[in-house]
Structures are given as C-alpha cells and as structure tokens.
Amino acid sequence: MQKPSIPKGTRDFLPQETAKRNYIFNTISDVFKLFGFEQIETPAMENLSTLLGKYGDEGDKLLFKILNSGDYLSEVSDENLHSRNLQRLTGKISEKGLRYDLTVPFARFVAQHRNEISFPFKRYQIQPVWRADRPQKGRYREFFQCDADVVGSDSLLNEVELVQIIDEVYRRFGINVCIKINNRKILNGIAEVIGESDKIIDITVAIDKLDKIGLEKVNEELAFKGISREAVELLQPIILLEGANKEKIATLRHILSKSEIGQKGIDELEFILNKTELLPVRSTVELDLTLARGLNYYTGAIFEVKASDVEMGSISGGGRYDNLTGGFGLPDVSGVGISFGADRIFDVLNQLNLYPKELLSSTMVMVANFGEKEIEYCLPFVSKLRQSGISTELYPEAAKMKKQMAYADSKKIPFVIIAGENEMADHKVTLKNMTTGEQLSIHPEEIVEKIQR
C-alpha cells in the first residue's frame, strides 16, 4: 500500500487555508478592477520556444519540462540517444514546459492577440507558476503570482496609479507598508558619472545587497567585479544617501548634473512622488537608492514593498520595462507592472492575525438529524434559509447528538437547529447559539430573522 504523498515543494490547501488564500486573491483582484484592470488567463503549459532563454541559464534549468506524448523517442537517433547529451535529448523529447512566471506568457499573449486587445492594455493575472528550485522554508515549486501591468503607454501616470494600487491593497489588508521606489535611469546615471557605464548590472546587483551584507562587503564585491577604487570611492555618498525624499533628490540632481539619463530618471521620480503627494496615499513612499531589483529588464521606475510591522522580505515589487514583447515580434511596446507575493502576504496576515473572522467558518447553520420524519419536518425551512443566502447544512445521518455537535464545533458553525419529537409536536425548533450556548425555542418561520440578526 502506497503512503499518500505529494511532490516535494508542492502543497495541499485545506479549507481554512483555501479560504484565506481566496481572501487574498479577491482583495487584490477587487483593487485591480477598481483601477480598470481586466483579468486574463494563459495556459499552464507554454511551448518551450516561448520560455527558453528568457530567464537566463539558471532559469532554463529550473523550467519543468513536459515529456512529449506518444512515442517520444521516435525522433531521437541512436547516436543522440547514446551520446547522453541531455540538452540535445531534452529538445527532442520535450517541447512544452510549465509557466515559470506570468510576465513572459503575458508578453507572448500581447504579441499574439495584438489585434484583439485595445492599447493601453491594462491586464491582471492571478495564476500559479512552477519552478524546479530546491524547496526550502517559504520557497515552493508551485506558487501563485498576482500581477497587474499596463502595456502600450509611456505615461508616468501609470506608475502613480500602481503606487495607489499598492497603497489601497495593503490598506484593505490592514498591513502598514513602506513603498520603496527608485529608477533604473538614476542608477544608469550614477554608473555614467563614475565612469563605469558598462558595469551597471554589477553595480546594481552589489548595491541591492547593502541591507543584507553591509557597506564593506558591497565595496569588496564592487572591487571584485573590476570597478576602480576611484569609482567605488565616488559611489559611497550615493549608496549612503539619507534624509527626506526631497533632500535626496536635491543631492542627486547635483551629483548627476552631467548625466542626461540621470536627470531624466530624477524627473520621472519627482513626477511620481509629486503626484502621489496630491493623493490620499497613506503608506510611506521612500526613495531608496539601494533598491535595484535583480531583474535586468527594468528600464525606468522600480518598486518594492516592505511590511512595516513584521520581519519579512519584500511582499510586492515591480517596475517599468521597455520592449517587453520585442522577442515575440512586437517591438517598442513599453510596460509597467506590479506583482503581489501571495505566499508572503499569507504569512504576514497570519503573523499579525489580520484575517477577517468570517473566514473562520463557512457554514452558518447546521440542522441536527434525528431521523427521517424529523428531517422531513426540517426540509422546508432549510430551503428557506438557503434562499435567504444563509449557508446551511443538514447533518446527513441520524448519528448520536454528541457526534453531530462535535462536527458543528470542528467546522466552527455558529448556529445549530434542533428539531426532535418535542419540537415537532409544538411546531417549534430549538435554535442553539454555539458561541454563547444560548438556546431559543422559536417558530420555524422566525429562524431566518433571528440568524440574520
């Protein structure tokens, strides 16, 4: 007999967990819709030609690949087979892979359906993705991403709206957050003025680690990457820049006075911050020059969100990227987007105990079962309860009362209706409030009203 199990890094979601996750997805989804984003879905499987080469060599390795159906060896020559050349063999026996993120399938979607959608196209997407990463605490091989993007519009108003979306989502969750913002053009400007334009990736990757490894190690890494001592020296005041956003911007304007792209980045940043100030945004919005984000495709604003009251990595992130769909034959389409990390939000809401109480119970009323005659007495008002939108269960067997009550307890059902011989004789029912223990003898017609109150 096999012991039932699931692949490592994957999860089952029990009713309570599913209810909590639905609450997260619905909250995010409601806010996306409030800002005019429309939902799309793409298939779990994409052609490997769509996915390969989009996530770097490491990403290619982490793609889950689907074995071709039927005689998958028919196209494989003996020579290919015997050589055990994995890469070549994989190309022959597998042509599909599981979605690795939502961005590449979205780019493919936009290019493929360009004539069916209107630009600017504001879409959101909430679907699972799969990565053959080594599983560890908080890292899964199947997890959900919740992304909203606008493509086909260069306007910085989109960035402003994304800040509002972040603010509104976390306001609804009751999570206080700090929205960190930066701009890739500023980082490019910095690389330019210190004379290391070609090393911008190395510099941003190193700066990104400041919080984790400290200044000294960042400087070591910069030196190790071949950045000159002078340049590292010039970088110091920039990495350690402090104060209010306005002060930082003033200093940056000065330092980057000779970099056109740097000034452009500051302009963009200032626009977003100024417009945000006109709006009822409650979250802290902070310019953070150490924010670089690993992904190399960002070209303008970049965002990251941290929960203020718990220790946790970033719970949302995003930014502006140019030429998203170029690889699919649709060049010069700019986009900007934000992604919410459902798994981390799940943990933050648990830690801060912020889930709404209604999520704890799904059924409002259980009708105890005393046998066939009693059940027939109950059927009409059970229908009425449901017609009134009150979720109601009939305990299916005439089991011992203790067992039935234990079931109601385990499902945290707040009301139990007892209708045995006595109640039937009096044309009444007993309504038990499972929280207070209070019992009321009432007419069946009164149940709906009592419960709705």
6 lines the binding site for a copy of itself (CB under 8 A) = yes
CA 345 to chain centre: 8
What does the alpha-carbon distance between residue 217 and residue 219 come to, in Å, rounded to a whole number? 5
Residue numbers 385-444 binding a copy of itself by CB under 8 A: 386, 389-394, 396-397, 406-407, 410-411
x/- map, 360-389, a copy of itself, by CB under 8 A:
--xx--x--x-----xx--xx--x--x--x
Residue numbers 344-363 binding a copy of itself by CB under 8 A: 362-363
Instruction: State which of residues 100, 130, 173, 370 lies at the interface with a copy of itself (CB under 8 A).
Output: 130
Reduced to 3 states, what is the DSSP secondary structure of residue 123?
strand
Instruction: State which of residues 23, 55, 64, 170 lies at the interface with a copy of itself (CB under 8 A).
Output: 64
18 lines the binding site for a copy of itself (CB under 8 A) = yes
Residue closer to a copy of itself, measured from CB, 376 or 421 = 376
x/- map, 24-43, a copy of itself, by CB under 8 A:
---------xxxx-xxxxxx
Single-letter amino acid code for the residue at 133: D
Residue numbers 66-85 binding a copy of itself by CB under 8 A: 66-67, 69-73, 78, 81-82, 84
What does the alpha-carbon distance between residue 44 and residue 408 come to, in Å, rounded to a whole number? 38
Give one DSSP letter per residue of 48-100, joined into a string: HHHHTTSSHHHHHHHS-EEPPSS-TTTT--HHHHHHT-HHHHHHHH--EEE--
Residue numbers 87-126 binding a copy of itself by CB under 8 A: 89-90, 93-96, 98, 108-109, 111-113, 116-118, 120, 122-123
- Phi, psi for 367 (deg, rounded to 5): -100, 120
On whether the CB atoms of residues 62 and 139 are closer than 8 A, the answer is no
x/- map, 247-286, a copy of itself, by CB under 8 A:
----------------------------x--xxx------
CA angle 211, 215, 219 (to 5 degrees): 125
What does the alpha-carbon distance between residue 434 and residue 328 come to, in Å, rounded to a whole number? 59
57 lines the binding site for a copy of itself (CB under 8 A) = no
Q: What is the DSSP letter of 421?
A: H
Instruction: State which of residues 4, 212, 311, 373 lies at the interface with a copy of itself (CB under 8 A).
Output: 4
Query: Least separation, in Å, of the C-beta of 64 and a copy of itself?
Result: 5
Q: What is the DSSP letter of 6?
A: -
Query: Least separation, in Å, of the C-beta of 106 and a copy of itself?
Result: 10
